[in-house]
Amino acid sequence: MMTSDVTPPQADAIPAELLAEIEESITHYPVSKRSASLPLLHLWQNHFGYIDDSGIEWIAAKLELTPVNIYELVTFYPWFRREAAGKTVIRVCRTLACAMAGAYGIREKFCQATGVDVDHESHGFGHAPPTSSDGKFSVEFVECLASCGTAPVALINDDLVENITPEDVPNIVKEYDVN
């Protein structure tokens, strides 16, 4: 169906905990299993870091859908990736309040501090955000993180970091540079 990887298919390595979460999530949608598509994609990406062909096919089969039903979601929503991102993903909000508070300069500082090419932009839709050569960090813009009162903000993995100044960036990066 799509590209092949040299890495083993993700569907061959589904841990029991993830499988239990998936089964439990499906129970929330008794009328239409299709409605569980997005929750399953989130669970899958949170576990594996991205969604490969086997994940698309496995989720489709689990929900009694065709793979294209899942593929279209993965390529429509910028949040989902078909390629691995860095170990730490820095998502800088660029919506109006954050843009006016300096989000573009903050993204540039994050790129400089992590070694990510500042000129490389990604718009999601299945592609990984720009990633440092050591694979530790990815930096990308995202739309509203719903924290306009504390702009500029960034979501670093699952942590919302608020009121970021350019001077804060090196210390923030150090905090997440664990390996």
Whether pLDDT at 120 is above 90? no
Question: Count of residues for the chain?
Answer: 179
Whether pLDDT at 129 is above 70? yes
Mean pLDDT of 91-120: 95
Distance CA 179, CA 162 (A): 24
Whether pLDDT at 3 is above 80? no
Looking at residue 150, the DSSP 8-state letter turns out to be G
Measured distance between the N- and C-terminal CA atoms of the chain, rounded to whole angstroms: 36
Which pTM was predicted?
Answer: 0.79
> What pLDDT score does 55 carry?
97
* Sign of torsion over alpha carbons 24, 28, 29, 35: negative
Whether pLDDT at 87 is above 70? yes
> What pLDDT score does 179 carry?
58
Shortest CA distance to 169 belongs to which of 87, 114, 100?
114
Whether pLDDT at 68 is above 60? yes
Using one digit for the tens of pLDDT, what is the confidence trace for 134-151? Answer: 999 999 999 999 999 999
Name the H helices within the chain: 16-26, 37-48, 53-62, 67-76, 96-100, 103-114, 169-176
> What pLDDT score does 118 carry?
86
Q: Strands 88-93 and 137-142: what pairing?
A: parallel
Two tokens, residue 63: 């929900």
Distance CA 118, CA 140 (A): 10
> Lowest mean pLDDT: which of 9-23, 69-83, 148-162?
69-83
